[in-house]
């Protein structure tokens, strides 16, 4: 029993060439909690192009395969891997975990290549499952899993959230950590960046499109300030990096904790800059002057806010906890602190009209005019996620939700091919949606960061032309974007 082997696999995501890779925290965190007497192998399909050989070499009769998945292209790759493993040995147990199986347990288990799913956080459940499979005891006793038995799907009761501070430290030796240092930073003028993952989980807001409300039940929990600081210090010591990226959904919720972390960075003289994508407008409002100054002093150079829409009606519909005035106040206030605000947006909501959509573009223009340091991220396409309130509204407006697991992977986030499937989107919006979204990308720093300096230089005339389009809202007829899309999909490996 002790020679059981666990192979944990992080499938490709379908966007792996756009952004520098972040460590596969989902499986790394679980792998680190396993009893060290079990052999564990971590395969990152985004990096290990020879993944098939790695699996072949390691697979054995007593082996357990764990596969991570969130909604989107990752499912397709996860299924390819599952099929490959089952073909090598049909007796091997395939376990899926992650957001998608948690939200869609039945549909996931209906797939013939998947035997068991872990719902929610895996740090406690997965080691218990491995123990159970090793000792061949009954699956029924393990909280937080669903499985198939004699053709029937059985859902055990759920597991409560874990105390993150009890997790064992990450076993970095399971991956080649240097693979995950980003060459560039989103903070201009600083260098190599490392994504240290989530130092807290969840978010207390109930934005109606976000999986947080159902996946994390709107509950927030965190690593202590001390543990977070150690994680930062270890990363700086381990790697040649200049910038730290904190991936929390809501890093600034506990301002006392942020203060202790910032003070720690200063005390340790780490000489890094850092930024967080987990800030909300209400949290920013709650931060006092001193904390903002302290954040800057400790190296904080950027906050990234999820703005989503410039239409007051849409902001209400999706239940964002702020209004347009709050956005402008924040944008203006940040000028005092030399911290660059970055804004994310979405498009293609159910009931969104052309005028709502154009309000978002105009807001993007305005925020940049208001604050020279403001940066707009490209608009991303809204995708109805099961379990959220906006999913139900999308269904009411004609969304035909995929009936099979695989269909959730069909490039839903890049609408060029699939716009027709999204029946809930207004006809007039559909006519320009692809163009607006693509132009938001072409007019962002994201594309420039993804491409080399030479290529960017060669593309200057193209950028200039598309900037003119973007600034003048010329969205209806843009034949040149056809060529752009073809090239993009090939270069960036998008599907």
Distance CA 263, CA 266 (A): 5
Nearest to ligand B12 of 317, 381 (CB atom): 381
Nearest to ligand B12 of 105, 292 (CB atom): 105
Least distance in angstroms from the C-beta of 175 to ligand B12: 11
Judged by CB under 6 A, does residue 74 bind ligand B12? Answer: yes
Judged by CB under 6 A, does residue 70 bind ligand B12? Answer: yes
Nearest to ligand B12 of 123, 352 (CB atom): 123
Site string for ligand B12, 6-45 (x = CB under 6 A): -------xxx---x-xx-xxxx-xx---------------
Nearest to ligand B12 of 172, 296 (CB atom): 172
Least distance in angstroms from the C-beta of 218 to ligand B12: 12
Distance CA 43, CA 174 (A): 9
Distance CA 341, CA 332 (A): 10
Judged by CB under 6 A, does residue 66 bind ligand B12? Answer: yes
Task: Choose among 4, 12, 10, 17: nearest CA to 490.
Answer: 17
Nearest to ligand B12 of 212, 331 (CB atom): 212
Nearest to ligand B12 of 124, 374 (CB atom): 124
- Residue 310 contacts residue 283 (beta carbons within 8 Å): no
Site string for ligand B12, 409-448 (x = CB under 6 A): ----x-----------------------------------
Least distance in angstroms from the C-beta of 212 to ligand B12: 5
State the DSSP string of 141-152.
G-TTEEEEETTE
Task: Choose among 443, 432, 441, 445: nearest CA to 478.
Answer: 432
Task: Choose among 404, 469, 386, 368: nearest CA to 209.
Answer: 386
Distance CA 41, CA 54 (A): 9
Nearest to ligand B12 of 299, 378 (CB atom): 378
State the DSSP string of 246-271.
E--SSTTSSHHHHHHHHHHHHHTT--
Task: Choose among 67, 109, 84, 104: nearest CA to 408.
Answer: 104
Least distance in angstroms from the C-beta of 118 to ligand B12: 4
Task: Name which of residues 118 to 157 contact ligand B12 (CB under 6 A).
Answer: 118, 121-123, 126
| Interface segment toward ligand B12; rule CB under 6 A; list 92-100, 322-330, 363-371, 479-487 | 92-100
48 Cβ partners below 8 Å, 6+ apart? Answer: 54
Nearest to ligand B12 of 212, 443 (CB atom): 212
Please calculate the CA angle 224-225-231 and round it to the nearest 5 degrees. Answer: 90
Nearest to ligand B12 of 153, 291 (CB atom): 153
Least distance in angstroms from the C-beta of 457 to ligand B12: 27
- Chosen residue from 78, 97, 306, 348 binding ligand B12 by CB under 6 A: 97
| Interface segment toward ligand B12; rule CB under 6 A; list 63-71, 289-297, 348-356, 369-377 | 63-71
- The count of C-alpha atoms lying within 13 angstroms of the C-alpha of 92, restricted to the half-sphere facing its C-beta, is 28
Nearest to ligand B12 of 44, 466 (CB atom): 44
Distance CA 76, CA 69 (A): 9
Q: Which residues of 439-449 are buried (b: 16+ CB within 10 A; e: fewer)?
A: bbbbbbebbbb
Range list of β-strands (E), 15-156: 39-44, 63-68, 93-97, 116-118, 145-149, 152-155
- Chosen residue from 6, 73, 374, 393 binding ligand B12 by CB under 6 A: 73
For residue 59, CA distances in Å to 38, 62, 436, 487 come to 14, 8, 47, 38
| Interface segment toward ligand B12; rule CB under 6 A; list 95-103, 148-156, 290-298, 358-366 | 95-103
As a three-state string, the secondary structure of 296-328 is: HHCCEEEEEEEEECCCHHHHHHCCCCCCHHHHH
**Total number of residues binding ligand B12 (CB under 6 A)?**
40
Task: Name which of residues 209 to 228 contact ligand B12 (CB under 6 A).
Answer: 210-212
Distance CA 358, CA 353 (A): 9
Least distance in angstroms from the C-beta of 258 to ligand B12: 18
Distance CA 357, CA 39 (A): 52
Task: Name which of residues 376 to 405 contact ligand B12 (CB under 6 A).
Answer: 380, 385
353 Cβ partners below 8 Å, 6+ apart? Answer: 426, 428, 429
Ramachandran angles phi, psi of 243, nearest 5°: -135, 145
- Burial degree of 260 (CB within 10 A; 0-12, 13-18, 19+): middle
Nearest to ligand B12 of 48, 328 (CB atom): 48
Site string for ligand B12, 231-260 (x = CB under 6 A): ----------------x-x-----------
Nearest to ligand B12 of 335, 417 (CB atom): 417
| Interface segment toward ligand B12; rule CB under 6 A; list 55-63, 68-76, 319-327, 484-492 | 68-76
- Chosen residue from 6, 43, 63, 67 binding ligand B12 by CB under 6 A: 67
Residue nearest to ligand B12 (CB): 97
**Interacting residue ranges for ligand B12, rule: CB under 6 A:** 13-15, 19, 21-22, 24-27, 29-30, 66-68, 70-74, 95, 97-100, 118, 121-123, 126, 197-198, 210-212, 247, 249, 380, 385, 413
């Amino acid at each position: 029993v002790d020679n059981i082997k666990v192979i944990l696999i992080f499938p490709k995501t379908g966007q792996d060439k756009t952004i520098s890779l972040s460590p596969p925290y989902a499986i790394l965190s679980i792998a680190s909690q396993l009893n060290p007497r079990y052999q564990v192998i971590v395969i990152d399909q985004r990096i290990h192009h020879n993944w098939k050989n790695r699996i072949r070499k390691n697979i054995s009769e007593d082996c357990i395969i764990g596969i991570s998945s969130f909604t989107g292209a990752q499912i397709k790759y996860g299924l390819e891997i599952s099929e490959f493993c089952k073909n090598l040995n049909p007796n091997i147990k395939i376990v899926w975990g992650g957001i998608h199986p948690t939200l869609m347990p039945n549909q996931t288990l209906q797939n013939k290549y998947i035997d068991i799913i872990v719902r929610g956080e895996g740090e406690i459940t997965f080691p218990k499952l491995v123990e159970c499979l090793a000792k061949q005891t009954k699956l029924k006793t393990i909280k937080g899993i669903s499985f198939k038995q004699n053709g029937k799907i059985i859902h055990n009761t759920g597991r409560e959230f874990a105390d993150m501070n009890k997790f064992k430290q990450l076993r970095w030796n399971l991956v080649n950590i240097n693979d995950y240092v980003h060459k560039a930073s989103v903070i201009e003028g600083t260098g190599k960046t490392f994504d240290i993952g989530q130092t807290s989980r969840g978010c207390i807001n109930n934005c109606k499109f976000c999986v947080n409300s159902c996946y994390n039940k709107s509950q927030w929990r965190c690593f202590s300030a001390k543990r977070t600081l150690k994680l930062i210090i270890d990363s700086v010591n381990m790697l040649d990096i200049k910038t730290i990226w904190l991936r929390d959904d809501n890093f600034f919720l506990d301002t006392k904790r942020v203060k202790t972390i910032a003070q720690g960075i200063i005390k340790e003289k780490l000489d890094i800059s850092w930024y967080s994508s987990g800030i909300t407008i209400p949290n920013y409002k709650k931060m006092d002057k001193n904390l903002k100054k302290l954040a800057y002093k400790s190296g904080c150079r950027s906050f990234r806010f999820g703005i989503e829409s410039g239409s007051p009606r849409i902001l209400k519909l999706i239940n964002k906890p702020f209004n347009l005035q709050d956005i402008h106040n924040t944008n203006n206030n940040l000028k005092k602190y030399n911290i660059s605000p970055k804004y994310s947006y979405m498009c293609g909501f159910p009931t969104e009209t052309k005028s709502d959509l154009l309000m978002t573009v105009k807001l993007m223009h305005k925020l940049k005019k208001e604050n020279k340091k403001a940066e707009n991220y490209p608009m991303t396409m809204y995708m109805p996620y099961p379990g959220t309130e906006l999913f139900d509204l999308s269904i009411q407006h004609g969304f035909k939700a995929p009936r099979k697991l695989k269909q959730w992977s069909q490039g839903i986030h890049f609408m060029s091919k699939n716009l027709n499937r999204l029946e809930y989107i207004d006809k007039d919006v559909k006519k320009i949606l692809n163009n607006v979204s693509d132009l938001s990308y072409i007019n962002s720093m994201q594309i420039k960061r993804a491409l080399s300096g030479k290529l960017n230089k060669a593309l200057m005339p193209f950028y200039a032309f598309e900037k003119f389009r973007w600034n003048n809202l010329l969205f209806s007829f843009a034949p040149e974007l056809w060529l752009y899309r073809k090239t993009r999909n090939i270069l960036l490996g998008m599907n």
